[in-house]
Amino acid sequence: MSTLQEKDKRFLWHPYTQMHDYAQRDLLLIDRAEGIFLFDQEGRRYFDTISSWWCIVHGHSHPIITEKIRSQLARLDQVLLAGTTHEPAILLAEQLVRLTPPELTRVFYSDNGSTACEIAIKMSLQYWRQTGQPGRCQLVGIERGYHGDTIGTMSLGGVPEFHGPFAPLLFSSHRLPSPYCYRCPFGREQEGCDCRCLEPLAQLLAEQGAQIAALIIEPLIQAAGGMIVYPAKYLQKLAGLTKEYGVHLIFDEVATGFGRTGTMFALEQAGVVPDFLCLSKGLTAGMLPMAATLTSEEVFQAFYGDYGAGKTFFHGHTFSGNPLAAAAALGSLLVFAEEQTMVGLPAKITHLQARMRRFAELPWVGDLRQLGMITAMELVKDKSTKAPYDVHERVGWPIYLAGLKHGLLLRPMGNVIYFWLPLSVTLAEIDEITERAWQVLSDPQ
């Protein structure tokens, strides 16, 4: 056995990857990264247009964050967070509470986005048991929603391709239609939309509201479900309904948190405050794994009491609140402040929008959507009928391969091609990425 790639094929099994695709082909072996670029072993450069699975915020290996991690490593590498505590976890919790709406006062750490959401679900269920409403045990998710790969989050997910095989393992839950404006089942245009897709929620709550514990949703964009961007008023109406029936609202901002949508958190654009806010990915600017679930004092107090009262939240992970990750997160917040990241964002968002416009002219681009630094194109067989490609046609695969030839790391999701750009991207880099993508997409494969 000689090359690393051969060893890769011999010993590794990659996530969300059909390994057969690489029977005759090597996986892209990344050797190092800097800024928006990934470099392979031969020194070839690729634009990381997907922020390495949506987590890189200030570019790879930002020096301030790197230094924070390094000095933390010299001081305290890891310690359990049960019964002990440490400075980075405390200071980060304080900052997260300050950054998010005042109603969210408590931070519970974990180490990935799935667990951040799983924790919110578990807290909600236990809350209702401990506040005299044990009958509130049903949960609601949204079609095309994605909250992770744990059992609880898969049970509330709405992407059948991901969750189908595990059906026997999953609990039953309610599923609302996706606010998929491009394919609105009610034929509404975004302009005059009255959110008819929320009628099933209104009906469900009217019939069974007192049995429903929580509803989980990705605010403003269903990311893994196909980069489905939807209007803030949908979220406002939905929040109005859950509030009316006392149902917990869980916002999964694992992907959208930390500036990606143009505001620090997507919830700011709707002016809605959830009972639980789930964060990960960009929390450490993508440099180390970490997650946080924020909730209200009311929820916290429902778990607070004498040990014998049995109210403890029995949940935790070995690496919950890991000091290195917490230091990275503090470093990222420092970069936000020092580089005034959010101030520079509107110009980048407008520039990206302008550069993307011409893609709408392509006969195979059915829909072009954007939310902040996230932009997506839905490819269709026929623009006038919106006829979709069959999943087995794998339209994304040749685009991925062509992207590599043009120095772009793309990761099409079925028929949706998207950019999820780091906030540090420059206007010149936006020009280069969109120009290279034009070379890829304007040439029918």
Ranges within 279-338 binding ligand PLP (CB under 6 A): 280
53 in a labelled binding site: yes
Is 281 annotated in a binding site? The answer is: yes
Instruction: Out of 46, 109, 146, 180, pick the active-site residue.
Output: 146
Binds ligand PLP by CB under 6 A, chosen from 238, 249, 255, 272: 255
- Residue 116 CB, shortest distance to ligand PLP, in Å, is 7
For ligand PLP, the closer CB: 59 or 113: 113
Identity of the residue, 145 or 209, whose beta carbon is nearer to ligand PLP in the bound complex: 145
The yes or no reply on residue 252 touching ligand PLP (CB under 6 A) is yes
Sequence-ordered alpha helix ranges (H) in 106-260: 113-130, 151-155, 160-163, 199-208, 232-244
Do residues 290 and 111 make contact, with C-beta atoms less than 8 angstroms apart?
yes
3-state secondary structure of 14: coil
Q: 302 or 325: whose CB is closer to ligand PLP?
A: 325
Angstrom distance (rounded) from CA 334 to CA 287: 14
Question: Measured from the CB atom, is 129 or 411 closer to ligand PLP?
Answer: 411
Are 342 and 373 in contact by the 8 Å Cβ rule? The answer is no
User: Does 358 count as an annotated binding residue?
Assistant: no
Contact between 217 and ligand PLP (CB under 6 A)? no
Residues ≥6 apart with Cβ < 8 Å to 413: 224, 226, 227, 396
Active site residue 389: no
In sequence order, the β-bridge partners of residue 142 are 176
Clarify whether 146 is annotated catalytic. yes
Q: Is 141 annotated as a binding residue?
A: no
Specify whether the CB–CB gap between 326 and 111 falls below 8 A: no
Sign of the CA dihedral 308, 312, 317, 321? negative
Phi, psi torsion values for 417, nearest 5 degrees: -105, 130
Report whether 318 belongs to an annotated binding site: yes
Q: How many other CB atoms are found less than 10 A from the CB of residue 177?
A: 18
Question: What 3-state class would DSSP assign to 245?
Answer: coil
| Residue of closest CB approach to ligand PLP | 113
The two three-digit tokens of residue 172, written as one number: 């039953």
Give me the least distance between CB of 350 and ligand PLP, in Å please. 25
Contact status: 224 vs ligand PLP (CB under 6 A):
yes
Strands (E), 325-407: 365-371, 374-382, 387-388
Q: Of 254, 251, 220, which Cα lies nearest the Cα of 234?
A: 220
Nearest distance in Å: CB 29, ligand PLP:
22
Q: How far is residue 423's CA from residue 426's CA, in Å, rounded to a whole number?
A: 8
16 is catalytic: yes
Q: Is 146 annotated as a binding residue?
A: yes
Beta carbon nearer to ligand PLP, 108 or 146: 146
Q: Does 75 belong to an annotated binding site?
A: no
Query: 135 to 174, contacts with ligand PLP by CB under 6 A?
Result: 146-148
Sheet holding 138-142, edge to edge: 104-110, 291-296, 276-279, 248-252, 212-217, 138-142, 174-176
209 vs 286, beta carbon nearer ligand PLP? 286
Q: Which of 16, 21, 382, 386 is an active site residue?
A: 16
Of 48, 109, 275, 281, which residue is the catalytic one? 281
Bridge pairing between strands 138-142 and 212-217: parallel
Q: How far is the CB of 187 from ligand PLP (least distance, A)?
A: 28
Query: Among 111, 252, 275, 367, which one carries the catalytic annotation?
Result: 252
Closest CA to 414 of 137, 154, 160, 116: 160
The annotation status of 372 as a binding-site residue, yes or no, is no
Residue 113, marked binder: yes
Per CB under 6 A, the list member of 49, 51, 114, 173 interacting with ligand PLP is: 114
Candidates 36, 89, 117, 430; binder of ligand PLP (CB under 6 A) is 117
Query: Residue 382 catalytic?
Result: no
Q: Which of 224, 222, 239 is nearest to 179 (CA)?
A: 222
Please report, in range form, the residues annotated as the binding site for substrate. Answer: 53, 146, 281, 316, 411
Please report, in range form, the residues annotated as the binding site. Answer: 53, 113-114, 146, 252, 281, 316-318, 411
Please report, in range form, the residues annotated as the binding site for pyridoxal 5'-phosphate. Answer: 113-114, 252, 317-318
Residues near ligand PLP (CB under 6 A) are 112-114, 117, 146-148, 218, 223-224, 252, 254-255, 280
